[in-house]
Amino acid sequence: MTTPLETFPEGDTLTAIALDLPFDVIVWDDPVTLMTVVTRILMKVFAYPKQKAYRLMLAVHEEGRAVVWSGELNKAEAYCVRLHASGLLASVEPSS
């Protein structure tokens, strides 16, 4: 079977393919941020309904981190910037 990397051996194209892979926006738990604040920020940044934001907040709280969004790298980075600007610990990494 041919993998995408074998199909496009050129450096620039490889980069483009890599950028097309999904990336996760991760929110990390911390000891000072209130649960209500995390929920509100997720609603504000992603326009999630309260129930979804609350469920994701609980996942962050209980597991130490949670994937709150997945998709294109540039959008993931833009979301991460907004999360940082709202005061949440967040990062972007390739989807596993």
Partner 1 sequence: MSMPFDRTVDSIRVDLSREIRRYVSGLAASVLQGTRDGTHPFAHRLAAPITVTKDQDDAFLVLARTDVIATAAQITESTAFSEELTLDEAEAWFDTLQVGCQALSGSLRVTIPQDLDRLDPDDRERLRLAQDLLSFLVDVLDEPPCDEEN
**Smallest gap from residue 23 Cβ to partner 1 (A):** 8
52 vs 91, beta carbon nearer partner 1: 91
To which H or E segment does residue 93 belong?
strand 90-94
Give the interface with partner 1 as residue ranges (CB under 8 A).
23, 30-34, 36-37, 40-41, 73, 76-78, 80-82, 84-89, 91-94
DSSP letters along 67-84, please? EEEEE-HHHHHHHHHHHH
Residue 75: CB minimum distance to partner 1, A: 12
Q: Are the beta carbons of 40 and 94 closer than 8 angstroms? A: no
What distance in Å separates the CA atoms of residue 59 and residue 17, rounded to the nearest whole number? 31
> Of 2 and 11, which CB lies nearer to partner 1 in the complex structure?
11
